[in-house]
A and B are shown apart, each in its own frame.
Chain A
Amino acid sequence: MQRRYLLTILLAGALASPLAMAHDPSKHKGKPIKGEVTAVGASEFTVATAKGDLKVTFSDKTKFERGDDRASAADLEKGMQVSIFGTVLGSGKEVVAREVLLAPAEGGHHHHPGGHMH
């Protein structure tokens, strides 16, 4: 009986830990660059940041997320607030995005029950 209890606790812990980690900002590698989208192109967009305008390039390897949901480059809109994780090139004016977090859409926050991992 005790063994079954222990097994249940361990199983619950194993299942709960990915949920607890879902969308924990610390799971994103590095510090994000935050700004407002000012222009959107096919494989790049521009954001206005506190330090000036920054060109952001993305590829099919770039992950887009909105809240706890997956998103895509097609969801990018002018005026949207974004956080970008990626590699800033030596010029300091361009970043190759690894992950782009879009500000949650107004009027509700859709939550996937399973969450996701980074």
Chain B
Amino acid sequence: MYRMKAAALLGIGVILLAAGAAYWIVTSHGFSARAEPSAIEAWVARHLRRLAIPAEARNAKNLLEATPLAIAEARDHFADHCAVCHANDGSGRTDINAGLYPPAPDMRTPVTQDLSDGEIFYIIKNGIRFTGMPGWGGEDEENWKLVLFIRHLPELTETELELMQGINGLEPPGEETH
């Protein structure tokens, strides 16, 4: 009986401590979207996202072939709709992304490249709650082409970047954007 009471008290203590810590974090750090999420927060968010994607969607295969035309069509689509936040090279180094919480990741890195094709497709189509990523809906074929292009991002050439810049006028990351 004594043990149960002690365990209950300990539980309540932990909850109160967590609530106090959350209160302290919010009141002392504010609600700025320009802050960098902590490593723990990012880890929890990514795992929750993974859990939230249905297994069937996660395992879906991209049946489109990565032809030069399919990649080029998706490149133009990406330049038109996605690059304003993700940047032409997928690095996420844009003015808008600098003010997002959490910011979109560098899609050339394992954070995105290690996702399955189905997961990337699901995220494009449905978005991610509590982030700046909207659910675009759209036609499945176009979304699967975008998956091909996202896979291609680590190998993007200067010529392709120039073609994208010709569409959206975005400055390459790292250069002055004002």
Which A positions have Cβ atoms within 8 angstroms of B?
30-31, 87-92, 96
Contact = CB atoms under 8 A, between A and B. Distances in A.
B72 A30 contact: no
B73 A87 contact: yes
A89 B152 CA distance: 13
Taking chain B's interface residues, is the majority helix, strand, or loop, or is none over half, making it mixed? helix
B76 A90 contact: no
Contacts of B68: 89-91
A90 B160 contact: yes
> What are the nearest 6 A-B pairs in CB distance?
A92-B159, A89-B68, A87-B72, A89-B72, A90-B160, A87-B73
Interface size class, chain B: 10 to 19
Nearest to B75: A90
Contacts of A91: 68, 159
Looking at B68, B71, B72, B75, the one whose CB has the most chain A CB atoms below 10 A away is B72
Interface string B134-174: 00000000000000000000000101101100110000000
Given A30-B76, A87-B73, A92 B163 contact: yes
Taking chain A's interface residues, is the majority helix, strand, or loop, or is none over half, making it mixed? loop
Nearest to A88: B163
8 contacts: A87-B73, A87-B76, A90-B68, A90-B72, A90-B75, A90-B157, A91-B159, A92-B163
A31 B162 CA distance: 14
B69 interface: yes
Interface in B71-98: 71-73, 75-76
Contacts of B160: 90, 92
Given A87-B73, A90-B71, A31 B166 contact: yes
B162 A96 contact: no
A51 B163 CA distance: 12
A87 B69 contact: yes
Given A87-B69, A90-B160, 18 more contacts: A30-B76, A31-B166, A31-B167, A87-B73, A88-B72, A88-B163, A90-B68, A90-B71, A90-B72, A90-B157, A90-B159, A90-B163, A91-B68, A91-B159, A92-B159, A92-B162, A96-B69, A96-B72
Contacts of B72: 87-90, 96
Contacts of B167: 30-31
Contacts of A89: 68-69, 72
B42 to A, nearest CB: 32
B139 to A, nearest CB: 16
A96 B72 CA distance: 10
